[in-house]
C-alpha cells in the first residue's frame, strides 16, 4: 500500500445499505483522508445506522435519477462515487461522462460483460474453464442442472432441477434463465486488485465455507497458486481498474469451473482487509494514479459473519454517571465496550462522572487499570443508607450501573434513563 497522500476525498457510497456498501464503510470510515457519505432508496435499510450522513435517491430506472445524483454530488462536493450494487455499477459506468464525480470501477465494457453470466462464459470459455451451458430444455443430456438468471446476484432465483419436468417449471419462473451443468464441489472467491499499468498486484483466494442467500458468511484463505493463472487469464481478456473478484467451484472430478466475475468490492473482502489489503482505499488510489504497493501480514485468519444490532433512539444527555465495580471493572478486567462508549462521550464533549461505592482506594484502582484521567469527576459514595441519587445533580444525565436497586432508586427519584452493561450496545454510535 502506498503511503497515504495529503489529500481529502469526499466519497459517496451508492447504495450504502448493501453488504457491499457496509464493507466499504468498514474499510474507509477510519481513513483520515476520506469523508464518507451514503445514498440509497427511501426504504428501511442499514445505511443510516453506520453512515453519519445518508441521503435518499430515486431508483436508477426512474426518470431524473441522474439529475438527482448530480445534484447530491454537487451539494456534497463528492469526488468519488462507489457503486455498491451490480445494476447501479453498470448504470454509473455507462453514464460516467455525465456524472460530476469519478466512478470507482473498471471500464464500461468490463462492467457490461461481467453483469451477464452468458456473456462472461462466451467471452472467457477459451481462456478459463466455464460450466457447460445448455441452450434449451431439449439439449439437456444430464441431470441435475443448475438454473440461474443471466444477470442475477446473491443466489436470487437460482434453482437445482433434478429432471425434465422440474426444469420446465423452473424455466417459467426464472427471468432470462441460464441452464448450466451442476457443479457440486467446494466454492471459492478470489479477491483481486489490478493497477491499469502494473497489472494484478494482489490475488487472494478464500474458501466459501458457509453461504447464506449467496453471501459468504464463513470464509478462510487458501493457497492462491492454483487461482493466480486464472486471474491473469481473465485479465488478459477483460480490463480491470482497482478491486474485483471472481468465483470458481469444483465439479465432480475436482476441476475448477468459473461461476462469475464482478468488478467491485465484495462483502467478505473484509478477510483480506484484515490481513492488510484495503480494497476500497486502494481503488481510490488507483483512480488517483498514485504509486501502489500491497503488503499483507502472514497470519492464519478466518472470517465469520452474523447479524449485528444497531439502534436509533431519542436519547439526549450531557452527563454520564458510571459505576466502577462490576460495571466498568468486571471480574478484575476493564469492560472494553463501556470504555468505547466513554471515549465516544469524550469525543462528543459529554461530562463523565464516576459514581462509586468502591471499598478500596479508588484512585489506586483506576491507576492500576490505566483509567486515570478518563473522568471529569470521581464521586465516592458513603456506605448505605446513603443513596447514589443524592449525588446526581443534573437532569440531562444517564446512569450506567450493574445494580438494579441503584438504577431503580435513581430512575424513580430523578426520572433519568438508567442502563446496565447488557444495554450498552444501544448507546454505541457506529456512524462514520
| Ordered alpha helix ranges (H), 243-288 | 270-275, 279-288
Residue 4 grid cell: 497515504
DSSP annotation of 385 reads: T
Radius of gyration of the chain (CA): 27
Query: For residues 429 and 50, what is the distance between their CA atoms, to the nearest angstrom?
Result: 8
Peptide bond before residue 144 is cis, with ω within 30 degrees of 0: yes
Q: Is the per-residue pLDDT at 4 higher than 60?
A: no
| Residue in this structure with the C-alpha cell 464518507, named with its chain if needed | 36
Query: For residues 89 and 242, what is the distance between their CA atoms, to the nearest angstrom?
Result: 14
In this prediction, residue 154 carries a pLDDT of 67
Q: Express each pLDDT in 91-142 by its tens digit.
A: 999 999 999 999 999 999 999 999 999 999 999 999 999 999 999 999 999 9
In this prediction, residue 113 carries a pLDDT of 98
Query: For residues 266 and 239, what is the distance between their CA atoms, to the nearest angstrom?
Result: 18
Query: For residues 264 and 355, what is the distance between their CA atoms, to the nearest angstrom?
Result: 50
In this prediction, residue 152 carries a pLDDT of 77
In this prediction, residue 386 carries a pLDDT of 84
In this prediction, residue 1 carries a pLDDT of 56
With a CB cutoff of 8 Å and minimum separation 6, the contacts of 195 are: 201, 241, 286, 292
| Residue in this structure with the C-alpha cell 446526581, named with its chain if needed | 392
CB 399 within 8 A of CB 419: yes
In this prediction, residue 3 carries a pLDDT of 54
How many CB atoms sit inside 10 A of residue 2's CB?
13
Domains and CATH numbers, the chain: 9-104 (3.40.50.20), 113-120+184-303 (3.30.470.20), 132-181 (3.30.1490.20), 319-427 (3.40.50.1000)
In this prediction, residue 385 carries a pLDDT of 84
Give residue 6's pLDDT band: very low, low, confident or very high (50, 70, 90).
low
Give residue 267's pLDDT band: very low, low, confident or very high (50, 70, 90).
very high
Say how many Å lie between the first and final Cα of the chain, rounded.
23
Looking at every residue in the chain, the average pLDDT score rounds to 95
Give residue 213's pLDDT band: very low, low, confident or very high (50, 70, 90).
confident
Residues in the chain: 432
**Mean per-residue pLDDT, 161-173:** 93
In this prediction, residue 214 carries a pLDDT of 84
Backbone φ and ψ of 60, nearest 5°:
-70, -15
In this prediction, residue 384 carries a pLDDT of 81
Q: Express each pLDDT in 198-210 by its tens digit.
A: 999 999 999 999 9
Q: What is the pTM of this model?
A: 0.92
Q: Express each pLDDT in 299-336 by its tens digit.
A: 899 999 998 999 999 999 999 999 999 999 999 999 99
CB 218 within 8 A of CB 257: no
Query: For residues 354 and 335, what is the distance between their CA atoms, to the nearest angstrom?
Result: 14
Give residue 157's pLDDT band: very low, low, confident or very high (50, 70, 90).
confident
Residue spans of beta strands (DSSP E) within 87-239:
102-103, 133-134, 145-149, 159-161, 177-181, 187-195, 199-212, 215-222
| Residue in this structure with the C-alpha cell 450506567, named with its chain if needed | 400
Q: Express each pLDDT in 46-61 by its tens digit.
A: 999 999 999 999 999 9
Amino acid at each position: 500500500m502506498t503511503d497515504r497522500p495529503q489529500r481529502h476525498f469526499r466519497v459517496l457510497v451508492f447504495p450504502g445499505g448493501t453488504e457491499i456498501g457496509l464493507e466499504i464503510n468498514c474499510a474507509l470510515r477510519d481513513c483520515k483522508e476520506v469523508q464518507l457519505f451514503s445514498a440509497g432508496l427511501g426504504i428501511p435499510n442499514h445505511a443510516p445506522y453506520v453512515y453519519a450522513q445518508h441521503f435518499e435517491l430515486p431508483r436508477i430506472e426512474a426518470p431524473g435519477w441522474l439529475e438527482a445524483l448530480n445534484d447530491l454530488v454537487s451539494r456534497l462536493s463528492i469526488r468519488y462515487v462507489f457503486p455498491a450494487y451490480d445494476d447501479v455499477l453498470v448504470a454509473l459506468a455507462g453514464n460516467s461522462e455525465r456524472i460530476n464525480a469519478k466512478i470507482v470501477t473498471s471500464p464500461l465494457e468490463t462492467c457490461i460483460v461481467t453483469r451477464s453470466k452468458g456473456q462472461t462464459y462466451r467471452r472467457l470459455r477459451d481462456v478459463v474453464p466455464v460450466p457447460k451451458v445448455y441452450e434449451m430444455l431439449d439439449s439437456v443430456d444430464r441431470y441435475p442442472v443448475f438454473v440461474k438468471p443471466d444477470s442475477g446476484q446473491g443466489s436470487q432465483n437460482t434453482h437445482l432441477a433434478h429432471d425434465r419436468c422440474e426444469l420446465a417449471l423452473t424455466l417459467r419462473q426464472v427471468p432470462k434463465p441460464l441452464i448450466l451443468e451442476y457443479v457440486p464441489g467446494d466454492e471459492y472467491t478470489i479477491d483481486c486488485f489490478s493497477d491499469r499499468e502494473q497489472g494484478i498486484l494482489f490475488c487472494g483466494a478464500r474458501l466459501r465455507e458457509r453461504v447464506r442467500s449467496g453471501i459468504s458468511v464463513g470464509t478462510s484463505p487458501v493457497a492462491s497458486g492454483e487461482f493466480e493463472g486464472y486471474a491473469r487469464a481473465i485479465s488478459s481478456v477483460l480490463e480491470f481498474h482497482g478491486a474485483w473478484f471472481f468465483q470458481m467451484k469444483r465439479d465432480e472430478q475436482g476441476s475448477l469451473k468459473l461461476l462469475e466475475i464482478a468488478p467491485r468490492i465484495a462483502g467478505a473482502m473484509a478477510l483480506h482487509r484484515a490481513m492488510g489489503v484495503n480494497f476500497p482505499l486502494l481503488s481510490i488510489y488507483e483512480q488517483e494514479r498514485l504509486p501502489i504497493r500491497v503488503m499483507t501480514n502472514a497470519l492464519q485468519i478466518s472470517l465469520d459473519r452474523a447479524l449485528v444490532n444497531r439502534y436509533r433512539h431519542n436519547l439526549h444527555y450531557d452527563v454520564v454517571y458510571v459505576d466502577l465495580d462490576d460495571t466498568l471493572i468486571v471480574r478484575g478486567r476493564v469492560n472494553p465496550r463501556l470504555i468505547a462508549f466513554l471515549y465516544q462521550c469524550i469525543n462528543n464533549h459529554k461530562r463523565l462522572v464516576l459514581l462509586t461505592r468502591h471499598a478500596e482506594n479508588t484512585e489506586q484502582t483506576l491507576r492500576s487499570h490505566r483509567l486515570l484521567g478518563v473522568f471529569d469527576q470521581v464521586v465516592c459514595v458513603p456506605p448505605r443508607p446513603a443513596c447514589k441519587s443524592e449525588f446526581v445533580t443534573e437532569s440531562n444525565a444517564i446512569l450506567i450501573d450493574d445494580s438494579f436497586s441503584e438504577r431503580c432508586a435513581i430512575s424513580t427519584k430523578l426520572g433519568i434513563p438508567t442502563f446496565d452493561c447488557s444495554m450498552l450496545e444501544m448507546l454505541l454510535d457506529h456512524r462514520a
